[in-house]
Amino acid sequence: MLAIVVALSANAELTLLDEPYLGLDDTNRTIFYDNLPHDRTMVVATHALEESAQHFDRFLLMGEGMQDYSAAELDDAFVVAPGSPDLAPHAVRTEEIAGQSRMVVPRGIVDGTPLPLADAVRILGGQR
């Protein structure tokens, strides 16, 4: 928490943070997000897409390539689907629970009615 206070109090035009909420309980995570300055540029490396989508304007998803999304576009671009070897090359996140695999993949890759990204990230817990 001290590192977050120091980074934000520097009052720099550009602030870089790498997973700053790690180790914070729910109350302190809320305090962190509620007190982010809106008058400067913040670059935050995160796996918590759903949580951060409520507080940031743009997202740059990094993997084999980079894609830029607004918070609204992010939900339209990705879905969660049952894991399969066919989907694995396209997955941006994968989780296995009790022997069942789920993946977050680009919306155009899957058939059927997959969950929206907000549900996907909640299910996958932001883990890669």
Per-residue pLDDT of the chain (128 residues; tens, 9 = 90+): 888 889 888 889 899 999 888 889 989 988 988 888 888 888 888 877 667 777 888 888 776 567 788 877 776 777 777 787 877 887 877 777 677 787 778 777 765 455 555 555 554 444 43
Domain locations in the chain as residue ranges: 2-45, 73-124
CA angle 47, 18, 62 (to 5 degrees): 50
Tokens 């943070």 belong to which residue?
17
Tokens representing 73? 């576009």
Count of helices and strands (H, E) across the chain: 5, 8
pTM over 0.75: no
Task: Give the Cα separation of 128 and 125 in Å (integer).
Answer: 9
- pLDDT of amino acid 64: 59
Q: Which helix (H) or strand (E) holds 81?
A: strand 78-82
